[in-house]
Amino acid sequence: MRSDKITKGLERVPARALLYATGLNREDLGKPFIGIASSFTDLIPGHVHMRSLERAIEKGIHAGGGVSFIFGVPGICDGIAMGHSGMRYSLASRDLIADIIECVVSAHCLDGLVMLTNCDKITPGMLMGAARLDIPGIVLTAGPMVSGRSGKQKLSLVKDTFEAVGRKRKGEISDEELSCLEMEACPGPGSCQGLYTANTMACVTEAIGMSLPRCAASLAISSEKERLAYKSGQQVVELVRKGITARKIMTKEAFENAIMVDMALGGSTNSCLHIPAIANEAGVKVDLHLCDSISARTPHITSMQPGGEYLLEDLYYAGGIPAVMKRLCGDLHDCATVSGLSTQQIAKAAEIHDEDVIRAKEKAYHKEGGIAVLYGTLSPDGAVIKQSAVSSAMMQFRGIAKVFDSEETAMAAIMGSQIKKGTVVVIRYEGPRGGPGMREMLSPTAALVGMGLGESVALVTDGRFSGGTQGPCIGHVSPEAMVGGPLALVEDGDEILIDIPQRRLDIHVTKEALAKRKACWIPPKPKITQGLLSRYAKCVTSADKGAVLIAE
């Protein structure tokens, strides 16, 4: 075992003495050492209940014959960080989490790992760390939040808080109604209720095979989640004994399965950042072309918020990810999973309890999957949109550019009622390098929808969007403006053409005119010149490559 490096031999007397100081017995030194990487924090509702899950995982590890060691990783709540400078740290924290897992697991020679996680960048960060180390590991996502209630009406975070800001500005709701929504929308522990990034990545993780069946959708408040925690602890010890490491699960075929499930669900566009980044650590090539090609042949069979009707609790009661896999069974690769069951075994054993929440392919909500990748003169290396959350009337759009060099200036214009119908709001210098950190733009997109402009205004950015975004909002524009991509050359009044069915994003300006603008373009000074974000900006790659870090 890996842990033999610190438990065996004459030279390891000091290490053993320190291990005994933690409370271990002599017989414990012959057992698998299992790390529990926990993102528990009092700051995030998706994580406040993790203490009980940590205990359940510990019990499972001990029952399986291992020894458990808890260590922490940082967590950022994107909802709390949204709309201000704090959001710059969210994507950067993904790679920081992978580094922390590498450091702790490698320094202490742990044999296996249970990754207790829930929110947006934490789940992919943990998977990146496990893939990099290639050790046995299981992910336990801590579960979605139940819906809020106002009378008989179900409430959720994005629709009833972020979009409510625009509705209040428009005068549709009172101060009292707004106060009620912000108090009742999030009733307790769990990741935000819709198919936003946290729940998207939980579903992707289960579809890859790195979580036990039904883990992704099982509710934060459920006893089933406690049982899954216990079983995850038990099973990781078995993986160690059998030598089943992360890269044996996270194969090219497993990533293709995960993308297919993601497209069938209509998940967050952030998956197009995270799946390639995880695959990169696993030594597998996944790019935007693969995501788009799988989406083009995968029907969208669920109608999940923000663009649809249902919440994660509805998906859970309908059968969860195994039921979605059952619908796709004929197209999925038969891959190994951490449960010991194969993908096809899980899919065939699943039950579908609601034919509308998880539809048959021939009755799909849309013929294509949730995400489309657009190329063109404005996005030579690609841009990403959640097409399942765009109305049929806005699938093709021609508008006049209104350009902003930051999210804050764009948000001020939106809230000041300066954005008119027929506008394409361009927000640039918010990419991985320019942001730095590629901030999510949920505040402006939700405000536009709340103010009734979701059917007449588009938004294009080199930043990214929350999984809660709906409407014609195009992100991840690559190359980004900070490195001189075409987005840096857009001027107020330029005509921009969006054609989602044809996968096009173009600026109606001649090549000659763009060349003249490029010759005069001067890169802006970096917004951050010290600390983590300064280092991040120097090492991060483009969004179309997953915004992974490279050494310069």
Can you give the CATH number for the domain in which 95 is found? 3.40.50.2300
- Does residue 307 contact residue 389 with C-beta atoms inside 8 Å? yes
Tokens 């991509």 correspond to what residue?
A: 485
Same domain, residue pair 339 and 194? yes
Residue 35 burial class via C-beta count within 10 angstroms: exposed 0-12, middle 13-18, buried 19 and up: buried
Structural tokens at position 233: 């602890």
Structural tokens at position 159: 């629709």
Same domain, residue pair 172 and 135? no
- pLDDT band at residue 319 under the 50/70/90 scheme: very high
Q: CA-based angle 208:46:411, to the nearest 5?
A: 100
**What secondary structure letter does DSSP report for 74?**
-
User: What whole-number distance in Å separates Cα of residue 386 and Cα of residue 324?
Assistant: 19
Evaluate whether residue 300 is within a structural domain: yes
Which comes out higher in pLDDT, residue 443 or 276? 276
Name the residue type at position 316: Y
Same domain, residue pair 174 and 245? no
User: What whole-number distance in Å separates Cα of residue 137 and Cα of residue 102?
Assistant: 13
User: What whole-number distance in Å separates Cα of residue 423 and Cα of residue 47?
Assistant: 39
Evaluate whether residue 104 is within a structural domain: yes
Average pLDDT rounded to a whole number, residues 482-506: 97
- Residue 134 known to bind ligand: no
Same domain, residue pair 138 and 156? no
Evaluate whether residue 358 is within a structural domain: no
- pLDDT band at residue 526 under the 50/70/90 scheme: very high
Same domain, residue pair 304 and 390? no
- Does residue 444 contact residue 425 with C-beta atoms inside 8 Å? yes
State the pLDDT at residue 441. 87
Same domain, residue pair 329 and 391? no
User: What whole-number distance in Å separates Cα of residue 240 and Cα of residue 237?
Assistant: 5
Task: Say whether pLDDT at 277 is over 70.
Answer: yes
State the pLDDT at residue 552. 58
Span of 165-169, 307-311, 385-389 with lowest mean pLDDT:
165-169
Evaluate whether residue 229 is within a structural domain: yes
Same domain, residue pair 376 and 473? yes
Q: Rounded to 10 degrees, what is the CA torsion of 523, 527, 532, 537?
A: -20
- Does residue 108 contact residue 69 with C-beta atoms inside 8 Å? yes
Same domain, residue pair 393 and 507? yes
Evaluate whether residue 357 is within a structural domain: no
Same domain, residue pair 395 and 435? yes
Same domain, residue pair 169 and 270? no
- Residue 511 known to bind ligand: no
State the pLDDT at residue 83. 84
What positions carry a catalytic annotation? 466
Crossing angle of helices 88-108 and 122-133, rounded to 10°: 30
pTM: 0.95
Residue after which a domain boundary falls, among 184, 203, 234: 184
Please give the tally of structural domains in the chain. Answer: 3
Q: Which helix (H) or strand (E) holds 137?
A: strand 137-141
Same domain, residue pair 401 and 480? yes
Domain that holds residue 64: 1-9+26-145+187-347
State the pLDDT at residue 307. 84
Evaluate whether residue 220 is within a structural domain: yes
- Residue 78 known to bind ligand: yes
Structural tokens at position 535: 């280092």
Evaluate whether residue 201 is within a structural domain: yes
What is the SS3 assignment for 442-459? HHHHHHHHHCCCCCCCEE
- Residue 462 known to bind ligand: no
Evaluate whether residue 491 is within a structural domain: yes
- Does residue 194 contact residue 218 with C-beta atoms inside 8 Å? no
- CATH (domain of 483): 3.50.30.80
State the pLDDT at residue 77. 94
Same domain, residue pair 171 and 240? no
Residue after which a domain boundary falls, among 184, 210, 237: 184
Over residues 134-150, the pLDDT tens digits come to 999 999 999 999 999 98
State the pLDDT at residue 376. 97
Average pLDDT rounded to a whole number, residues 235-260: 98
Residue after which a domain boundary falls, among 167, 184, 201: 184
Average pLDDT rounded to a whole number, residues 177-204: 95
Closest to 535 measured CA to CA, from 523, 551, 517: 551
